[in-house]
Amino acid sequence: MSIRTSTFSHSESFKQIPPTIIVIFGASGDLTARKLAPAIFNLSKDELLPSECFLIGYGRKKISDSQFRDYLKMSLDAHSRRDIRPETWSRLVQNISFHAGEYDDLESFKNLSSKITEIEKTLSKEVQCLFYVSTPPGVFKPILENLGASGLAKRHRRKEIESKVIIEKPFGRDLMSAKELNNIVNHRFEETQVFRIDHYLGKETVQSLLVQRFANSIFEPIWNRNYVSCVQITVSENLGVGSRGGYYDRSGALRDMMQNHVMQLLALTAMEPPSSLNPEAIRNEKVKALQAIKPLVLGGKSSEIVRGVYTQGLVEDEKAKGYLQEVGIPSNSTTETFAALCLQIENWRWKGVPFYLRSGKRLARKASEIIVQFKRPPEILFGLDSKYSLSPNLLVIRIQPNEGITLYLNSKSPGLETRLQPIELAFGYETTFGSNTPEAYERLILDSLNGDGTLFIRGDEAETSWGILSPVLDYWDGLGVLGLEKYASGTWGPLEADKLLLARGHEWLTGKKYQ
């Protein structure tokens, strides 16, 4: 492998990152093509990577360095948010190589270790390694075990250059498997070396949530049970399972989206103010918020859970097939494509405030947002007469698409008669800052290289989240098809999800006229 030391330069505005080797396991996969390669390229373009940085792809398929480089170049041309110029690529390409090996073969990992050592000898200095586990979850365990057994996990003990590992979702399938995976991780790595990734936490709006809450004095005094009526978190997709039918049928909406993305948004919304911006201080408060959640009521008239499966319908005026007609889905499948929950947080701040969560496929549109619905003012002035049409105040935090924040207030409409109508105070990231904002993976890869775990999931956090949801999965497994509600593609889910809120005096707001 040809080694050059001028591939990347460094921006003084960020922490000095030591010489680095990034190893991507599953390097020929879709995630590498769509997200990881573009993220690494854009970080280098912004001069945020060290001057001595190398990328090694690891995969089962035997391909040459030049073939891997061509694959990455095509990926960048197709998916990078910025164009790559020939002169830039000619500098990058020299430090890219491929290493073929099985994930359960210790000898292949030892050969990888030798390859890394050769780079260090050429540079005459020690390097930090970032191992990105971007593979199907079935091979997480052998990869982590072999990183430990080969010595790659703890190549250097100095914190500045210790090895780091990013683990993609899903982190386990239930509480038991998450604990088992954590045991392997903790046996081979220190927690400070481990970065369990959820790309939602890298999105600008999610990062901004802490700023909105704790850097603006108008929000914190009313961010509690005294003023908040309910909180709604929706992560919806208008697409079906596509070519992922085999994977999705083993997963379902609760595992695929609810346990990670949605629960992370809940934790950030509900957490107490951290004592500092130290990563552990923030993650401590997220865990505390999750630990305060009451066990869900699983059955009966007071049930706090709903599941559903999409059937044929219209999505954006195009006919969509039902889940059981999708490729790779067995005709007797009982997998849910929609899940809705009502969670209660038993602490001083949130006692009595329901947190409604929902996620599903083939819904009316793609949306990821948090809606804080505030209590109505006393019905003394404008609440007694129906002509005033007093609407609740809402804070809508849009994560995608059209990232931004909107505050809905009541105002008098022009005219001689006093009539009220909701108005918007809106902020959009693209409108304010431009459209070429960094992708989530850029921020998360950079943070991991810097050893900053703020936007990553800690081991106990993953287990706490699974502890809330694993009983739901067990309950549904026992029911089979019973209680699996149907909903037409292009709608907002089954009627039972609406009833879940109506029984508690609320209604789903995403997709309503206020938008």
pLDDT exceeds 60 at position 3? no
On whether both 141 and 207 belong to a single domain, the answer is no
Identify each DSSP E strand in 193-304 by its residue range.
194-196, 228-236
- The answer to whether residue 510 sits within a structural domain is no
Q: Which band of pLDDT confidence, cut at 50, 70 and 90, is reported for residue 11?
A: very low
Residue 114 lies in a domain: yes
Is residue 321 one of the residues assigned to a domain?
Answer: yes
We report the CATH number of the domain holding residue 391 as: 3.30.360.10
With respect to residue 155, please indicate whether it lies within any of the assigned structural domains: yes
Could you give the maximum distance between any two Cα atoms of the chain, in Å? 83
219 in the same domain as 150: no
Tell me the sheet residues that pair with 404: 398, 428
Do 382 and 464 fall into the same domain? yes
Q: Are residues 252 and 401 in the same domain?
A: yes
pLDDT at 474: 97
When divided into structural domains, the chain yields a total of: 2
Instruction: In whole angstroms, give the CA distance from residue 181 to residue 40.
Output: 27
Does residue 443 sit within a domain? Answer: yes
Residue 6 included in any domain: no
pLDDT of residue 83: 86
> Is 274 part of any domain?
yes
Do 149 and 288 fall within a single domain? no
Contact 255, 473 (CB under 8 A): yes
How large a percentage of the chain has pLDDT more than 90? Answer: 68
Q: What is the pLDDT of residue 298?
A: 96
What DSSP state is assigned to residue 152? G
The first and second tokens of residue 478, run together, are: 């026992």
The secondary structure of the chain in percent helix, strand, coil, rounded to multiples of 5, reads 40, 20, 40
Give the chain's end-to-end CA distance (angstroms, integer): 55
Coil/strand/helix, residue 125: coil
Matching residue, tokens 């149907």: 486
User: pLDDT at position 9, please?
Assistant: 37
Please list, residue by residue across 245-277, b when 16 or more beta carbons sit within 10 angstroms of its beta carbon and e when fewer do: beebbebbbbbbbbbbbbbbbbbbbbbeebeee
Least-confidence region, from 20-34, 374-388, 418-432? 374-388
150 shares a domain with 52? yes
The 10 Å Cβ neighbour count of residue 379 is 11
CATH code at 160? 3.40.50.720
> Is residue 134 domain-shared with residue 250, that is, in the same domain?
no
- State whether 241 and 282 are in the same domain: yes
Q: What is the mean pLDDT of residues 4-16?
A: 44
Helices (H), 367-439: 429-433
How many other C-beta atoms lie within 10 A of the C-beta of residue 329? Answer: 20
Residues 159, 215: one domain? no
Which structural domain, as residue segments, surrounds residue 37?
20-168
The pair of structure tokens assigned to 131 is 């191992």
Q: Are residues 251 and 357 in the same domain?
A: yes
Nearest residue to 504 (alpha-carbon basis) of 226, 223, 232: 232
Question: The tokens of 300 are what?
Answer: 């009966």
User: pLDDT-based confidence at 2, cuts 50/70/90?
Assistant: very low
Query: Active-site residue 156, yes or no?
Result: no
What value, to the nearest 5°, has the Cα angle with vertex 489 and ends 481 and 239?
A: 105
And the tokens for 91?
């500098």
Question: Does residue 176 sit within a domain?
Answer: no
The reply to whether 231 and 307 lie within a common domain is yes
What confidence tens digit (pLDDT) does each residue in 265-299 have?
Answer: 999 999 999 998 899 999 999 999 999 999 999 99
Nearest CA among 326, 343, 143 for reference residue 232: 343
Average pLDDT of the chain is: 89
pLDDT in tens, 407-456: 988 777 676 666 677 778 888 877 777 666 778 899 999 999 999 999 99
Question: How much is the pLDDT for 316?
Answer: 85
Q: What is the 3-state secondary structure (H, E, C) of 43-106?
A: HHHCCECCCCEEEEEEECCCCCHHHHHHHHHHHHHHHCCCCCCHHHHHHHHHHEEEEECCCCCH
Active-site position among 99, 199, 261, 506: 261
Same domain? For 164 and 205 the reply is no
Where a domain ends, among 121, 153, 168? 168
User: Which amino acid is located at 326 in the chain?
Assistant: E
What is the arithmetic mean of pLDDT over 75-98?
86
